Chains A and B, each alone.
Chain A
Amino acid sequence: MRRLLLVTALVLSSPMPLAAQDSLPPAPYAYQQLDDPELEAKATDLMHTLRCLKCQSQSIADSDAPMAGDMRHQVRTRIAAGESPAEVRQWLVDRYGEYVSYQPRVTASTWPLFVAPLLVLLLAAFILRGRLVKRKEPGK
């Protein structure tokens, strides 16, 4: 990163950074918003639900990792080119699997995530019924 380069240069007056970081500038749309606010909003919402693959559990919208920047660039350019957020998500899922998306879909391996809330709801209704409805006549 340039920032590190500059700082290192200031401190050690040595031109080479010691850390393993690339020296290229970020992709054009990594840190630049789309001109159309509506498209930008779409892209931002999507970016918040995509996983940064180089980071520990962060979305690409919350990361300074170069690869997250490159992914943001992909998302913005694809949205600007008229793709829907669902298509962009699919494009990434086709390459990295469901892991890249923070929004689980109902599949053979994720259905319990969606059935469980219903079960919890039923269980809650059951408990409430047991605790509340039975006791119409208190203190008897």
Chain B
Amino acid sequence: MKRLRIFLWVLVAVVGGLFVLFGYQLTQPKDEFIQSAMVGEPLPDFDLRPAIDTMPGLSKADLADGKPRLVNIFASWCLPCRAEAPQLETLRAAGADIVGIAIRDRPEDVAMFLQLYGNPFTAIGADDISQVQLELGSSGVPETFVIDGNGVITYQHIGDIRPEHVQTILYQLREAGA
């Protein structure tokens, strides 16, 4: 019976530990974001055709020319992308060079989107089968990556950029330029 008693107290301890874990996790905000494991890694090779006729497309070479940039992953069908448009405009006004990757989108829809919500981009590549998105370790739209002048990913912002995120992103962009 002694063994049973020891076993039971061990069980009580394990269950207690489990409850503490549950309690702790309940107080934590549920993080649904999947961080890219590519932060700190060089960009993969890619070459995307232009998403609209009037602007250039995007390739890895464009992003490794010595200048740090923001890569904004967006789509015309994505609602939060509309919400972050003013913040992208603020970033552009602050001197950020922003390039876009349009996910699963049609040229006419992208053109309409830019017309309605502004065009902060200097180039937009079209990623019709999410290939580059997958290469970057991005799991949704919108997401924004900071790329340094050597084409290395230095920062990932998941979700739409709200006003309070602008300073952080500008800071990350400056860091990437140093």
Contact = CB atoms under 8 A, between A and B. Distances in A.
| Chain A residues touching B, majority SS | helix
A53 interface: yes
A96 B37 CA distance: 5
A70 B136 CA distance: 14
A28 B78 CA distance: 22
Given A54-B139, A70-B130, 11 more contacts: A22-B77, A22-B105, A27-B128, A28-B129, A67-B130, A70-B134, A94-B37, A94-B38, A95-B137, A96-B137, A99-B34
A67 B106 contact: no
Interface string A74-101: 1000000000000000001111110110
A32 B136 CA distance: 25
A99 B33 CA distance: 11
Contacts of B77: 20-23
A130 interface: yes
A73 B128 CA distance: 12
B35 interface: yes
Interface in A20-57: 20-24, 27-28, 53-54
Given A67-B139, A96-B137, A23 B37 contact: no
A100 B77 CA distance: 25
Interface of B: 3, 34-38, 75, 77-79, 103-106, 109, 128-131, 133-137, 139-140
B139 A22 contact: no
A72 to B, nearest CB: 10
Nearest 7 Cβ contacts at the A-B interface: A95-B137, A27-B129, A70-B130, A22-B104, A53-B139, A24-B104, A97-B37
